[in-house]
Structure 1
Amino acid sequence: MDIKAAPPSPTQIIKSPGGPIIPKPVKFLIGGTAGMSATLFVHPLDLVKNRMQLSGEGGQKRLYSSTFNTFQQIARQEGILKLYSGLSAGLLRQATYTTVRLGVYTLLFEKFSKDGKPPNFAEKTAIAMTAGAIGAFFGNPAEISLIRMCADGRLPIAERRGYKSVIDALVRMAKEEGILTLWRGVGTTVSRAIVVNAAQLATYSQAKQLLIQNGKYFGDNITTHFVASMISGLATTLASMPIDMAKTRIQNMKVINGIPEYKGAIDVMSKVIKNEGLFSLWKGFTPYYARVGPHTVLMFVFMEQFNRMYAKYILKDDRKVASL
């Protein structure tokens, strides 16, 4: 799953005053590519978070004691390259979720802008939540592939699913379990996206505003964006992790003799609280939080550079296109 700072307004992504205009389809492509590029750097944190959330499931022995211990065990027992297990699914998730999310956000942002004035805060929140929900629906097949591919290495060899790539995972799931399996847990995926977008929009915007207004060391630059992203990420992580825990376990569960391990998100959370303790709902907190700010900043940095490259080499205009 994936948390990001509030998407910049369409004018921030497409053009600056007097600058070149990038076509919307290209802008959406750039947004997805930027998200994929950032994922190359933070994917191991996703894998560690997923492993920690599944550790101790069903009364089994807890495999990992901390984030560092999880990294250490995976590297020692499976090999350092296994930290990138499921990378193809992570990239596809960005190609679907991020592209759709940014596209819907931008279209709705423009629709609700009146006389050159952007939507008010309540409208921005509703737009971000809607965009996140729609993006999450389209990204769910890649999401479930990511969860399963990340989880595989913790199982005995005989119990592993052994997906070779995200395409292999999608084809096998559809063939072996039915096409609807690709949208298993979509309700929790969409719910998490709504909570994430609602929480991060308010906290990111407010944190950035307060830093610029009250901090002499902060301007509208990458340092401020990073700090605001980390503040926003803390609030968003606290709010969304119980839902993310439920999503991870539902999407990874096996159906035995037609009986699923969990009936739904509430069933997952109640069983986790009963068997593992209340705070286990936030299992994997550190790697989940640690990827929030870096992924956000990296995505926007890549997005800006890709915009500039397109303007310079395709549009033959080297004026500034996007600003962070």
Structure 2
Amino acid sequence: MGISLEKAELLSLGLTTFLYGLFFTLFLISTAVMSYRVTEDVRSQRNKILPVSFSMLVVATIHIVLLWVRGKIGFVDQRGGSSTAFYENIADMTNVLKVGCLLLQSLLGDGVIIWRLYVVYGKRAWVTAPSIILVIAYTVVGCVALQFIAHARPGTDVFHVATSWITAYFSLTMVTNVLCSGAIAWRIFRAGKPLRGAGTKMLWPVIFIVIESSALYAFGVIAVLASFLSGSNGQYPAVDAIVPLVGIVFSLIVLQIRFHVSSSVSPRSDGQTSTNGGGWPRPPGRPMGVDDPEFPMRSIRMAVHVTKQTHTHTSTHDVSGDSLSDEGMEKPTAL
């Protein structure tokens, strides 16, 4: 086993509490950032982000409360005669609810990334079909695994209950995350190929943020699978860490892109604003405000979907006649 069950649960309690505190702090910061200098577009996007972020926080809060309740029951009350006896009873309702929080948090995280994929590809539903199928599959698998856990006999550890179902669940959720993140990064890269200079410099940080966020979650799931398949009790802290980790990844995407674009916008001598590698320049030879179907920059701006507008007095029109600001166009700043 490598590490005793009691030590694993204590490590889980400490590590998850730390990660929850980090998530809570990032939630407050990202909420404050989205509330600073709010424009109409920012307000609209904020109304989409905050409910998701708050839902993740609620799930993570319920999860950490359950962890502390289990800690009291196991180490203080010693229900069942000892802490080991309590934690070995995986069918206990507090453990079942804790696993349920993991399933729900994974759905929220993957739901966000599938939405980003949908928007980046110009709201083509067929693009998201494989990811949606994977989500449905691992949701069913997760529910089946949860049923096995809830009806496990006393004294049966998690390594001998629904092993294949649990392995399939974590494998499918990791594949879903990596698949969607890779597709988003590829679309942004392809859309940026006509750009030169400043535009290219802006696209790479966005791509890196997408890849880094996926890698952070993927490494967490790999740690769970490695410890679970090796029969190590280290899988307990690894599993519990996933719940706040999903919220941390979400908050970091919001903050990283928002601060990157904000720092790339600088005032010009004529009182307007210019971008230092941070704007979304139009393809060469294409009038401002006209979107090329093969160059869906507007969709990509929506995919990262917290917008930041800069003030200008210059305006133009897109193909549908809508008034657009030359330098007041949407800038990708979050998600």
Q: TM-score, normalised by structure 1?
A: 0.29
Write 1 or 2 for the structure with the bigger share of helix: 1
So what's the TM-score if we normalise by structure 2? 0.28
Relative CO higher for 1 or 2, CA cutoff 8 Å, sep ≥ 6?
Answer: 1
Which has the greater radius of gyration? 2
